[in-house]
Amino acid sequence: MTVNDILKYPEFTVVNQEDDRAVEKVFCCDLLSIAMAKAPEDSVWVTVMSNRNVIAVASLADVSCVVLAEGYSYDDDAIEAAKGKVTLLKTDLPIYEAAVKIGAEL
């Protein structure tokens, strides 16, 4: 599965598109220190955190993309920081439902 495969579902929209990376796992976490230590490389990170620090952690963890769930929006600083680095998606789905939808295709 790749990031573009996720975009086939109407529940997911792109905010910032970078490379169409492979997706191997789904990771859910809203605590940056845990995400920094445990987010698997090539995973989709589903969260409700939307600030610039999420982009830094996503880059360090080398995740395939970040999905902002629950209908939240990324702040402008996060979107700007993601350019050239991290693909950002968003959805109105709750975190669990977004993760299950993506995970079912893996």
pLDDT number for residue 25: 98
pLDDT number for residue 102: 97
pLDDT number for residue 57: 98
pLDDT number for residue 34: 97
DSSP state of 27: E
pLDDT number for residue 66: 98
14-to-9, 17, 27, 64, 86 alpha-carbon distances in Å: 11, 6, 18, 13, 11
Q: In this structure, what token pair is assigned to residue 88?
A: 């950002």
Whole-structure pTM value: 0.96
pLDDT number for residue 23: 97
pLDDT digits (tens, 9 = 90+) for 13-66: 999 999 999 999 999 999 999 999 999 999 999 999 999 999 999 999 999 999
- CA-closest candidate to residue 23, choices 32, 12, 33: 12
pLDDT number for residue 86: 97
